[in-house]
Structure 1
Amino acid sequence: MAGVGLDDVSLTIHGGEYTAIIGHTGSGKSTLLQHLNALIKPTSGTVTIGDRTITSATSNKNLHELRRQVGMVFQFAESQLFAATVREDVAFGPRNFGVSAADADALAVKMIARVGLPADVLDRSPFDLSGGQMRRVAIAGVLAMQPEILVLDEPTAGLDPVGRREMMALFAQLHAAGQTIVLVTHQMDDVADYADRVFVLDQGQLVKQGTPQAIFQDADWLLDHQLGLPRTTQFALQLRKRGFQFAHLPLKSAELAQMLAPQLGGQAHE
C-alpha cells in the first residue's frame, strides 16, 4: 500500500485483535490511520477493509458504510463536539446514517453508559463537562455508529495519569467485549499492557512488526529509532547493568517481580 507519506507499506490487521501502531512523529502513523476508512486513498496499491477494497480510482460516493464500519477517534476528539446537549451530539451520527430518532436516542443512552458517564449528563451541554468527560462523550458518539473497528489516534493525549488509566481501561473493556481496536500511541506502557500485535513505522515505511514481547526485546533498536520502552523494561535494563540476569526483558511489573524473586532471595542468604 502506498499513499501520502507512506512507501510500500503492507500489513494485515486481524478482526478482534488489539493492534498498536508506533513510530516517532512524522513516521506516517496518522496517514496510515486515514487510509483505514478512506479519508485518504492510496495512490497505488489497495486497502481492503472486510469485503471492501479501496484503490486510487475509488469514488467518494457510497463510502458511508465503510465510514460507519471504521470508527475514528482523533486526537483531542472533544474538539469535534458541537451540539447543544450530549444526547444530541451522540445521536447525531446514527441520525445522519438514517437511524430513527427513537433508535438514535436509545443508542445515545446506551453509549453514554458504556463510556462510564452518568445518565444525567445526557441533557447537559457537553461544554459544561470536564475535559475527560467531553472526550468520553466524543467516543460515545463514535461508538453509537456501532463500528466493527475502533481506530484511536493518541486517545489519551492531554489527560492526567488517572484520566489516561481510566480511558485505557475503557478501551480494554471494549476489546474484551469483541471490539477490534487499532491504537496509535507514544505511550509504550499502553502498548505493553494492551496490544496483541505491534507495527512500527519509520519515515513512511513499515520497519518492524510482532508481538509486544518480541518488539520490546530489541531495546537498542527502539532507542535508535527515537522510540521509548515500557517503564518496567527500562528498569530491567538498569538492573541488568547491576548484575541481575533476565532470560528476556520483562514488560510488566508482575513479570519483573517474578524474575527478581529468586535472585533477591539468593542475595539475601549470602
Structure 2
Amino acid sequence: MDIILKDVGYSYGAGTPFESRALYDVDLAIPEGSYTALIGHTGSGKSTVTQHLNALLKPTTGTVTIGDRVIDNKTNNKNLKFIRKKVGIVFQFPESQLFEETIAKDIAFGPMNFGVSEAEALELAKETLPLVGLDETFMDRSPFDLSGGQMRRVAIAGVLAMKPEVLILDEPTAGLDPAGRREIMTMFNKLHEEQGISIVLVTHQMDDVATYADHVIIMDKGTVVKMGSPAEIFLDAEFLQEKQLGLPASLEFLQKFSQQTGIDFGDQRPLGTSRLAAAIIEMLKEGDLDA
C-alpha cells in the first residue's frame, strides 16, 4: 500500500487567531514495501507529517492518498478508522500505554476494538508474540512484571496484532541502551524483510538510517527539502550540517580513515558499521591496506 502526500499544508488552529502553520507544499511518497527514514531537526514538521500518514490529522490543503483512499480537509472522520488498522504507529515510549492485567489482553485490545472476537483476538496475541521475540508463556503474565525492554516489545506486539501493512516508528529506541537499541532495530528489520511490512522510521539516529533505510526524506521548516537514497543523502555532509543533522558514526570514521590512509571510497562509501568493517577486511585480504 503506497502513501502519497501531494501539496499538503497543515495549520494548527486553522481559521482562529491562534493559527500556526506547521506544513506547506509537502510532496512525498512512501512506496509499498519500502523502508523510509523521515529525518529533520526538532520542529521541522516530522511529527505533523507522521500524523497524516494514518489520518490522525487531515490536511488543511492538498491531499493524502493512503492506498486507494484520498483524504482532504473535507473527508469525514467516521470513514477513516480502517486506515488506522492498515497503518500502525509505534510512538515514543509505547510501553507507557500498557494498561491491561495480562499481556494477552493488552495485545488483544486493538483487534477487539475493530470488531474481532475475543477468542480470535487472543489467538492473534499468541501469533504475534514470537514476532517481537517473546513466546506464549508470556500470555498470562502481567505486563508490569516485565523489564522495560520486554514491556516495549509487548506494546509493539499490540500494534502488530492489527496486521498493519505500514508501520510508523517514532523514535522507537528512545531511552534504550545501545544493546537494546540494536535488538529492537534488528527486530523491525526482520519484520520488514520477512513480513513485507513497509517501515517509516522517524529518528535522530543517523546510524539506523544508514544501516536500515532504502529511502530518506529530510524535513526542514515544515516542508521537504531533500529526498534520496542514504548514499545520496550522506554524500552531502555540508547540507546535513546546515540542517542540524549529523553523519552516521561509520562515515565519521571513514573520513578520518581516508585522511590517514589516503584511500578514498568516493561515491561507493560503505554505509553502516558492518558494511564498513567488511570493506576494510576485504581490502586487507587483497593487500590494498597494510595491517
Change beyond 3 A, Cα 1:237–1:123: same
> 2:219 aligned to 201, 214, 224, which one?
201
> 1:3 aligned to 7, 10, 16, which one?
10
Give the counterpart letter for 1:203 in structure 2.
Answer: K
1:108 aligns with 2:125: yes
Q: C-alpha offsets along residues 194-239 of structure 1, whole Å, 9 cap, x if unaligned?
A: 1110000011110110001111111121122111111110111122
> Residue 241 of structure 1 corresponds to which residue in structure 2?
259
Give the counterpart letter for 2:255 in structure 1.
Answer: L
Output the TM-score relative to the length of structure 2: 0.88
Asked which structure has the greater RCO (Cα within 8 Å, sep 6+), the reply is: 1
| Structure 1 residue matching 2:266: 3-state secondary structure | coil
Change beyond 3 A, Cα 1:101–1:41: same
> Residue 243 of structure 2 corresponds to which residue in structure 1?
225
Output the TM-score relative to the length of structure 1: 0.94
Q: C-alpha offsets along residues 126-171 of structure 1, whole Å, 9 cap, x if unaligned?
A: 1111111111111100001111111110001101111111101111
Cα distance in 2, alignment partners of residues 159 and 118 from structure 1: 22
Give the counterpart letter for 1:246 in structure 2.
Answer: F
Cα distance in 2, alignment partners of residues 33 and 267 from structure 1: 45
Is the 2:284–2:290 Cα contact (8 Å) retained in structure 1? no
Is the 2:240–2:246 Cα contact (8 Å) retained in structure 1? yes
Cα distance in 2, alignment partners of residues 254 and 118 from structure 1: 29
Q: Structure 1 vs Structure 2: percent identity of aligned residues?
A: 58
> 2:83 aligned to 66, 79, 82, which one?
66
Give the C-alpha shift of residue 262 in structure 1: 6.5
> Residue 95 of structure 1 corresponds to which residue in structure 2?
112
Cα distance in 1, alignment partners of residues 176 and 73 from structure 2: 37
Cα distance in 2, alignment partners of residues 99 and 77 from structure 1: 22
Cα distance in 2, alignment partners of residues 160 and 104 from structure 1: 32
**Which runs of no fewer than 5 residues in structure 1 stay unpaired?**
none
Cα distance in 2, alignment partners of residues 154 and 253 from structure 1: 20
Listed as ranges, the matches of 1:1-270 within 5 Å are 1-4=8-11, 5-177=22-194, 178-242=196-260, 243-248=262-267, 249-257=269-277, 258=279, 261=283, 265=287, 268=290
Give the counterpart letter for 1:217 in structure 2.
Answer: L
Is the 1:27–1:202 Cα contact (8 Å) retained in structure 2? yes
Give the counterpart letter for 1:159 in structure 2.
Answer: L
Change beyond 3 A, Cα 1:263–1:95: closer
Moved more, 240-249 or 159-168: 240-249
Give the C-alpha shift of residue 70 in structure 1: 0.6
Give the C-alpha shift of residue 268 in structure 1: 4.0
| Structure 2 residue matching 1:64: 3-state secondary structure | coil
Is the 1:246–1:259 Cα contact (8 Å) retained in structure 2? no
Cα distance in 2, alignment partners of residues 263 and 226 from structure 1: 38
Is the 2:170–2:201 Cα contact (8 Å) retained in structure 1? yes
- RMSD, aligned α-carbons: 1.8
> Residue 5 of structure 2 corresponds to which residue in structure 1?
none
